[in-house]
Structure 1
Amino acid sequence: MIIVLIVVFVLFSIMTSSMGSFFSGPEKDFEITKSSIEREALPKGSVNETDYYYDDLDWIGNETKLLSGLRYFYQKTGVQPFLYITDTVNGSNYPTMSQLDDFANELYDELFTDEAHLLFVFFEYDEGYMTRYVAGTQAKTVIDTEAGDILLDFIDRNYYDDSLNDETFFSKSFTEAADRIMDVTRSPWINVMIVFGVVVLIIILFIWWRANKRQKDLEAKQTEEILNTPLDKFEDLEAERLTKKYEYEDDDSD
């Protein structure tokens, strides 16, 4: 039984490790949109590759770190992202959502000559921020509404992580979004059921093994007793058996 308990403990440790983001961490308080469909990356050659970002606020100190996440997004989805960081929209620090939306759409046409880019405008002023993204017609085959929500969710979640600097915040958000967008999100309860099934199977096998072992031990003990029994005892037993047999037959004849 100790072996079973050890196996159960190991399996439980593996389960909790694989489900760590489900039970703890940032996602416990901020649920990220699940990816419910399979998506295929755009074929190579779809994008007229451009720069990857414009920083109007001088936030980015480590360009390499930022680009690693943006290029990873491009590699996974086939859609090239372009991050636009600003605190003004058409000269205003307090644009409406509609104005930001118009600004992003006009900016897409100014910056790109294809329909395979994803423009992401990040506006922040006076400790408040807004985001808007525009996907080209071809890019929308990958970055659909659900995929866009996934990216926005990661941006919103990581924005409040004080351990991240600006370039890491954006790089991490695009990296995590790319992974989720391009993979169907599996329910963590599937892992629970798998582990539960394995544990039940182990218990059944252990019970069978123990019963089988007991039977073999019993047979071995009986064999040992037979081998250790003197031959004269067998003769006495046989004589006793025959005596009882004849006594029984005599009783029947009477």
Structure 2
Amino acid sequence: MVISGVFFSSSGYSGNNNSQHETNQITTSTVEREPLPAGAVNETAYYTDAAGWVESRSELEQGLKYFYQKTGVQPHVYIATDLNGSKTRDMADVRDFAEAKYDELFTDEAHVLLLFYEPYESEYKTYYVSGSQAKQVFDDEAGDILLDYIDRNYYNMDLNTSQFFSQSFRQAADRMMEVTQSPWVNVWLVVGVLAIIIVLFIWWRKRAAQQEAEAKRTEEILSRPIETFGSDVSELEKKYQDSEDTQ
């Protein structure tokens, strides 16, 4: 089995620390991903609650099943406050525990196991293990996206445990399965539209000024007495008079 694991740990407390985590940047999705084909997964349970924290099975599984439907990779969340009776902080112990659980729980390469380990209050460590087939969709970047949402939502005091995991997996699925559009695309689009509006406005102003000048000139010509047009008009009058006399 090909295993991919990423370790992430964080510690903090609710309350005053919330604001600094709510603004965490989420890893951008730069890869077009296709879900695994149907039949790749031998479907299993979606979570193991060794800590006894899950308030609502249906609420938790809603987000995990959404992730499965969106990616073709079945997730499994393993929640623990100790590892084989130990509250170790050793990263190697966390990794070994997660990798052993993958082999114990699954018979395919299309699962991703997320170990959420909180040995002490507000101090948690996460480690994910993905099978070789799951890696086609759930690559390192996708793993970073999931862990970013785990970190952000952990400090959202409006979410209970079931909602916390459900929302994190739902958000991760949506983000990883679409290429993240750069905010500069929208900025340059707005700049381009504004430039076109400015050019059209300048053209309209010049055109309106030209039309106004032409109208004013025409009005001046029409309002002038015929005598003011000079000798050319007198000559025309004389020629017209001579023509009448000869008839």
In 1, Cα distance between equivalents of 2:211 and 2:20: 55
> Compared with structure 1, are the counterparts of its residues 88 and 27 closer, same or farther at alpha carbon in structure 2 (3 Å cutoff)?
closer
Supply the AA of the counterpart residue of 1:237.
Answer: T
> Compared with structure 1, are the counterparts of its residues 222 and 26 closer, same or farther at alpha carbon in structure 2 (3 Å cutoff)?
farther
The DSSP-based 3-state class of the residue aligned with 2:75 is: strand
Instruction: Specify which of 82, 85, 88 is matched with residue 94 of structure 1.
Output: 88
Supply the AA of the counterpart residue of 2:68.
Answer: Y
In 2, Cα distance between equivalents of 1:76 and 1:225: 75
In 2, Cα distance between equivalents of 1:81 and 1:117: 6
Contact 2:94–2:127 (CA under 8 A) maintained in structure 1: yes
Matches within 5 A, 1:204-219: 204-219=199-214
Match of 2:153 in 1: 158
Unaligned segments of structure 2, at least 5 residues = 1-18, 236-247
Contact 1:89–1:95 (CA under 8 A) maintained in structure 2: no
Tell me, yes or no, if structure 1 residue 48 matches structure 2 residue 42.
yes
Contact 1:53–1:84 (CA under 8 A) maintained in structure 2: yes
Matches within 5 A, 1:5-16: none
**What is the RMSD computed on CA atoms of the aligned residues?**
2.3
Instruction: Specify which of 165, 173, 191 is matched with residue 168 of structure 2.
Output: 173
In 1, Cα distance between equivalents of 2:78 and 2:157: 21
Q: TM-score, normalised by structure 2?
A: 0.79
Q: TM-score, normalised by structure 1?
A: 0.77
Match of 1:4 in 2: none
In 2, Cα distance between equivalents of 1:72 and 1:212: 58
The DSSP-based 3-state class of the residue aligned with 2:43 is: coil
Instruction: Specify which of 206, 214, 237 is matched with residue 228 of structure 2.
Output: 237
Q: Which structure carries more relative contact order (alpha carbon 8 Å, separation 6+)? A: 2
In 2, Cα distance between equivalents of 1:71 and 1:212: 62
In 1, Cα distance between equivalents of 2:161 and 2:22: 23
Match of 2:32 in 1: 38
In 2, Cα distance between equivalents of 1:182 and 1:217: 58
